[in-house]
Amino acid sequence: MFHQWLLSLWRTIVPSVVGGVLGWLALRGITIEGLSAEQISYGATVLGAGTYYGLFRALEQRFPVLGVLLGSTKAPTYKEGSHPGVHAGREL
């Protein structure tokens, strides 16, 4: 179970790092009137990470080898009833 948790964490960290790099790159030359460099960087980070994860998660369904771009070709497995919306067998 702990291994699955680490795997899911790693597959979240990798897209976040990619988004962070995109946010950092956005600080290098993008200017939008009315927005600060920090706002542009934050937006690029969030949008970049979300897009990266969504794209490669979808592609992974068809081409499992692309899971490596999420940090691992092995997707975590969850036992029934253990998803975040369930606590002690009750819906939250």
| Number of structural domains in the chain | 1
- Residue 80 inside a domain? The answer is no
- Residue 10 inside a domain? The answer is no
Per-residue pLDDT, averaged over 7-11, amounts to: 87
What rounded mean pLDDT belongs to the chain? 83
Evaluate whether 68 touches 3 at the Cβ level (below 8 Å).
no
Evaluate if residue 89 carries a pLDDT over 70. no
pLDDT digits (tens, 9 = 90+) for 13-38: 999 999 888 888 888 877 888 888 88
Question: What residue numbers bound the domain in which 64 lies?
Answer: 34-71
| 25, 46, 58 from 5: Cα distances, Å | 31, 23, 21
**Phi first, then psi: what are they for 82, rounded to 5°?**
-110, 10
What's residue 62's pLDDT?
93
- Residue 58 inside a domain? The answer is yes
- Residue 22 inside a domain? The answer is no
- Residue 67 inside a domain? The answer is yes
pLDDT digits (tens, 9 = 90+) for 33-52: 888 888 888 888 999 999 99
